Amino acid sequence: MKTTICISLLLVALCQLSSAVTVTEGDYKFSLQSVKKLGALMNGNEASAEQNLHLVEAKAMAVCANPSLPKEFEPLCQDKDAGASLTRLAFVAAHSDACEICESVACTGC
């Protein structure tokens, strides 16, 4: 019984810690969960780093117009460099395991 309670408390603590991870992009900070949602919306994120700037910006504007995008990205979507920022955030989302163990410098709060 005590073991079950201890394991339950440990799992709750781990969930709280993982939700506390934030990703920094310039002056903006986003939760790791929101960055993962962004990554899912931009899918194909690794290829976008190799595309030309026009295609990246067009894809970013399409993602910014998507109603599924978390609201915390709205200020970033207004920036002139939104395409590049969203592409970098999508890259972090694709490699979120590095963020969860704080291997990436963009991530804090582990």
* pLDDT for 73: 93
Residues pairing with 107 in the sheet: 23
- Whose tokens are 């079950």? That residue is 4
Find the mean pLDDT for residues 90-108. Answer: 77
Q: For residue 107, give the nearest of 37, 95, 12, 10 by alpha carbon.
A: 95
* pLDDT for 74: 93
Q: Does domain 35-110 have CATH number 3.90.1450?
A: yes
User: What would the pLDDT profile of 32-79 be if each residue is shown by its tens digit?
Assistant: 889 889 988 887 544 444 555 567 667 777 899 999 999 999 999 998
pLDDT at 30 over 80: yes
96: Cβ–Cβ under 8 A, 6 or more apart, which residues? 32, 35, 36, 39
What is d(CA 76, CA 25) in angstroms, rounded to the nearest whole number? 9
What is d(CA 55, CA 8) in angstroms, rounded to the nearest whole number? 47
Hey, what amino acid is at 2? K
